[in-house]
Amino acid sequence: MGTAEDTAGGETQAWGEVTPDAARRLLVAAVEAFAERGYHATTTRDIAGRAGMSPAALYIHYKTKEELLHRISRIGHAKALEILRTAARREGAATERLADAVSSFVRWHAGGRTTARVVQYELDSLGPDARAEILALRRQCDAEVRGIIEDGVSSGEFDVLDVKGTTLAVLSLCIDVARWFTVDGPMTPDEVGALYADLVLRMVGVAK
């Protein structure tokens, strides 16, 4: 099974590790509220209401609104890292691994666009310690993609003058999908993933 297939599923699938059920319901409600209204405009009352619970019930599971955002961001970034690491460390040429990484990462951002918007665009809402933890995960994501590109340059598959800059461009391209993708659009997550994989291979100089 390819990595892209591994990332199939609905937006709530990623939260299966959050227990008990009340904590998961609150977290899903927070994702929806943060994506719709933004972190700072969302209140704990908003989150509890979406979950069908009282504001007091929220504090049983999460001490603060920031704790909710931190947990969402940590789980989301861990999943993103898992997707990229799986693609980067599979057997095969750098061309195949980069295409797999991009298509899978794009599929995750399109299929889980609500979660991805919160994970990718609310970083500055976290306090210093939580933000530092998430930045460390982001650096690991960057390292996985950069490693594939470096392998491709070394093997002669890629023609890249600036590996660091190209890595940033690839990740930015993938992440932006969460901002514009809609289920009513002309393309499915799989189709967008395939398109972006092709675009990125052209970016690194792979002849088609």
Tens digits of residue pLDDT in 90-113: 999 999 999 999 999 999 999 999
Q: How confident is the model at residue 51 (pLDDT cuts 50, 70, 90)?
A: very high
The answer for residues whose C-beta is within 8 angstroms of residue 75's C-beta and 6 or more apart is 14, 15, 17, 18
Taking only Cα atoms into account, the Rg of the chain, rounded to an integer number of angstroms, comes to 18
Say whether pLDDT at 179 is over 50: yes
What whole-number distance in Å separates Cα of residue 179 and Cα of residue 113? 7
Read off the pLDDT of each residue in 64-76 and give the average, rounded to a whole number.
Answer: 95
Instruction: Please answer whether residues 71 and 6 qualify as being in contact, where contact means their C-beta atoms are separated by less than 8 angstroms.
Output: no
Determine how many CB atoms are found less than 10 A away from the CB of residue 169: 14
How far, in Å, CA of 162 to CA of 177, rounded? 23
Write out 85-111 in H/E/C secondary structure. Answer: HHHHCCCCCHHHHHHHHHHHHHHHHHH
Q: Is the pLDDT of residue 208 over 90?
A: no
Averaged confidence pLDDT in the chain: 91
* Token pair in block for residue 187: 């393309």
Around 196, how many Cα atoms within 13 Å sit in the side-chain half-sphere?
A: 30
Provide the pLDDT for residue 14: 62
Quick one: tokens of 203?
């970016």
Q: Is the peptide bond before 189 cis (omega within 30 degrees of 0)?
A: no
Please give the average per-residue pLDDT across 60-85, as a whole number: 95
Q: Residue 90: how many CA atoms within 13 Å on its side-chain side?
A: 20
Digit-coded pLDDT (tens) for 141-170: 999 999 999 999 999 999 999 999 999 999
Residue 13, pLDDT above cutoff 90: no
Q: Is the pLDDT of residue 2 over 80?
A: no
CA pair distance 185, 62, nearest whole angstrom: 36
| 4 vs 57, residue with greater confidence | 57
